């Protein structure tokens, strides 16, 4: 029987895990021990075979990182009685190279009958992520599947089994929980906590993150990393795509240890909770880039420093980069914190993530008038108490800062969601203007066709020119509204956003509405351009002109009422309500979302 199919009790697996962890720890400390020394422990034969397989798999991995790839014959000579185990490990060196194709929902549902697969969230070269519902528990989950090629890799099977059990023990509020992991058919999978929120990449990309918000996020990341490092787990792929923000404003790190499971520390790949993005070396520590075998938890600290710098400045610390305080208005003391996380030599960096958190909290809970302002407590709040109990004041200050940070995180999400509502509210108006441009193009073509072919017929020439010019006006006005909508930058302060929406509204009311008024009379030239000259008969023309003139006068009366200056505060409120109604539901909904942001005092 293949080693991959052996079933062992949990107690046996835990004993094997402990022995493998010690073996791997020695490799990480550049003090490797022999497989034979570990096998001296007294274990039943089934456990012994599985332990040997896992030790050889680890030995192969670490030797390959050192540029010393082993061969099958070497292990056969060292362990002649376990030829089948060794052959099993070396039997699948060549993996399929066909690109991964995410299976359909129907296909996946056959392998996971306990789940209701809802939709594919993201896919890439190293797997796919689906949104699903656990029908028994009635909760949403993220189903993460890996390519089937791994099903034929014995070393991966051993590594997955060992590492996945460890990941399942990571129970922390800032880490995406792993509910279940295993193999269904030929597919390895993780069943994980579903996070309904944006990634840090999306927030940074939309320029919605201020330096103050960055200071609210970093301590939570430090908590998650410190907890994982204490459990002996290194992430190896910290980057904005793997950092998620829930709708409640909390921060969660996804894909802990996935690059280790995939066996590709030097070229990490990751499956995020909502979008899969291939790993990038821009966030990797120098020792990861060189493929050094001594990569430890300090590689995560370096990656956190890159993320921290990007959150503060919007840029990556590449080459000879400027310190954060030279690019944005932040406390200069942040420079030392960020630069220390970005030290090329691991021993010169922060040695623990908790140290970064402590320094950030100390910075945000103290004020120096000679430095750029950060979140700080007023001196009067702490001076008297500090005389009596400095440690209590420090603890209270840290609690207060953390509360401020959590509030800021929630406000950031609230602002983002409300800004999305502003965009969604303006979308019908935007598409309406696109439709108006298409109508304008068709109108120009209709008018040009009429006047160009009837230059000798005065009434058809005149009507064609009128329709042609009207089409040009349709396009000009719609294009101006579109440009003003596109100028709305939701990353700017709310006053700027309101000003931009006001600009859209004022132009739309002043010019957009006028374009509809002539339709009381425009039907006459349009009918002529389409060949219905009968509308020019007096019995048809004169009644039409009378009705059109009355309608046109009523429209211009309404237009004047909308734009006239109010004579009192009461009239001003009525005029504003009248203008809002005249502008349409799209702009009204946009203003409602802006008002909610202002009422919540979210800048």
- Catalytically active residues, by annotation: 237
Smallest Cα–Cα separation from 473: which of 513, 429, 503? 513
CA distance 82 to 75: 9
CA distance 260 to 27: 15
Distances (CA, A) of 331 to 291, 306, 376: 36, 18, 11
User: 450 — phi, psi (to 5°)?
Assistant: -75, -55
Q: Cβ distance 11 to 44 under 8 Å? A: no
- All residues at 6 or more sequence positions from 486 whose CB lies less than 8 Å from its CB, including other chains: none
CA distance 78 to 261: 27
Place of tokens 């399929």: 96
Structure tokens at 33: 């021990």
DSSP 423-461: HHHHHHHHHHHHHHHHHHHHHHHHHHHHHHT-TT-HHHH
Planar angle of CA 462, 468, 472, nearest 5 degrees:
145
Smallest Cα–Cα separation from 528: which of 591, 602, 476, 462? 462
- All residues at 6 or more sequence positions from 578 whose CB lies less than 8 Å from its CB, including other chains: 561, 562
Q: Cβ distance 128 to 120 under 8 Å? A: yes
CA distance 313 to 335: 12
Q: How many CA atoms lie within 13 A of 325 on its CB side?
A: 14
- Radius of gyration, CA atoms only, the chain: 33
Residues 431-442 as b/e (b if ≥16 CB within 10 A, e otherwise) read: eebeebbeebee
CA 204 to the chain's CA centroid: 8
Pairing between strand 270-271 and 243-245?
unpaired
Structure tokens at 481: 């509204």
Smallest Cα–Cα separation from 440: which of 463, 479, 466, 474? 474
Give the helix/strand (H/E) hosting 116: strand 115-124
Where does 487-537 have alpha helices with state H?
494-507, 519-529
- How many other CB atoms sit within 10 Å of the CB of residue 31? 8
CA distance 356 to 347: 15
Q: Is 144 flagged in the annotation as binding? A: yes
Planar angle of CA 321, 327, 332, nearest 5 degrees:
95
Residues 535-560 as b/e (b if ≥16 CB within 10 A, e otherwise) read: beeeeeeeebeeebeeeeeebeeebe
Torsion of CA 458, 462, 463, 467, to 10 degrees: 150
Residue list, annotated binding site for ATP = 144
């Amino acid at each position: 029987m293949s080693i991959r199919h052996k079933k062992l009790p949990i107690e046996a697996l835990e004993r094997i895990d402990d022995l493998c962890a010690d073996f791997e720890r020695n490799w990480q400390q550049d003090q490797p021990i022999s497989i034979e020394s570990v096998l001296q422990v007294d274990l039943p034969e089934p456990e012994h075979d599985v332990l040997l397989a896992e030790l050889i798999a680890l030995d192969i991995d670490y030797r390959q990182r050192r540029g010393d790839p082993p061969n099958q014959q070497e292990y056969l000579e060292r362990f002649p009685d376990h030829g089948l185990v060794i052959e099993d490990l070396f039997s699948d060196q060549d993996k399929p190279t066909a690109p991964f194709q995410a299976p359909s929902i129907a296909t996946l549902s056959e392998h996971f009958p306990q789940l209701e697969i809802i939709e594919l969230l993201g896919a890439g070269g190293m797997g796919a992520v689906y949104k699903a519902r656990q029908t028994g528990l009635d909760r949403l989950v993220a189903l993460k599947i890996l390519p089937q090629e791994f099903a034929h890799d014995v070393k991966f099977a051993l590594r997955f089994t060992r590492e996945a059990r460890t990941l399942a023990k990571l129970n922390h509020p800032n880490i995406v929980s792993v509910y279940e992991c295993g193999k269904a058919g030929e597919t390895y999978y993780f069943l994980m906590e579903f996070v309904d929120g944006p990634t840090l990449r999306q927030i940074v990309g939309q320029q919605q993150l201020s330096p103050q918000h960055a200071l609210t996020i970093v301590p939570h990341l430090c908590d998650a990393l410190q907890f994982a490092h204490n459990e002996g787990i290194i992430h190896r792929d910290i980057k904005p795509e793997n950092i998620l923000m829930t709708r409640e404003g909390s921060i969660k790190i996804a894909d802990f240890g996935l690059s280790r499971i995939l066996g590709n520390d030097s070229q990490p790949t990751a499956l995020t909770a909502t979008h899969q993005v291939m790993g990038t070396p821009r966030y990797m520590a120098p020792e990861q880039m060189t493929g050094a075998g001594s990569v430890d938890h300090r590689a995560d600290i370096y990656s956190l420093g890159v993320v921290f710098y990007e959150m503060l400045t919007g840029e990556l610390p590449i080459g000879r980069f400027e310190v954060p305080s030279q690019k944005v208005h932040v406390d200069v003391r942040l420079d030392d914190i960020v630069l220390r996380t970005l030290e090329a030599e691991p021993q010169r960096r922060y040695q623990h993530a908790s140290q970064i958190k402590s320094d950030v909290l100390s910075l945000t809970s103290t004020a120096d008038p000679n430095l750029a302002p950060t979140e700080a407590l007023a001196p009067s709040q702490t001076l008297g108490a500090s005389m009596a109990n400095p440690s209590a004041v420090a603890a209270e200050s840290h609690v207060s800062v953390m509360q401020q940070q959590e509030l800021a995180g929630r406000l950031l999400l609230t602002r983002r969601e409300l800004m999305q509502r502003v965009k969604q509210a303006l979308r019908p108006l935007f598409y309406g203007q696109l439709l108006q441009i298409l109508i304008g193009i068709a109108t120009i073509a209709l008018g040009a066709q009429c006047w160009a072919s009837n230059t000798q017929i005065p009434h058809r020439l005149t009507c064609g020119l009128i329709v042609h010019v009207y089409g040009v006006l349709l396009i000009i006005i719609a294009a101006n509204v579109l440009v003003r909508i596109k100028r709305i930058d939701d990353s700017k302060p709310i006053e700027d956003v309101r000003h931009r929406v006001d600009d859209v509204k004022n132009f739309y009311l002043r010019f957009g509405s006028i374009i509809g008024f002539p339709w009381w009379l425009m039907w006459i030239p349009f009918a002529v351009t389409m060949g219905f000259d009968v509308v020019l008969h007096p019995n048809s023309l004169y009644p039409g002109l009378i009705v059109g003139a009355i309608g046109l006068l009523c429209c211009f009366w309404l237009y004047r009422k909308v734009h006239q200056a109010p004579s009192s505060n009461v009239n001003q409120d009525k005029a504003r309500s009248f203008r809002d109604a005249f502008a349409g539901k799209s702009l009204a909904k946009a203003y409602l979302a802006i008002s909610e942001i202002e009422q919540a005092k979210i800048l």
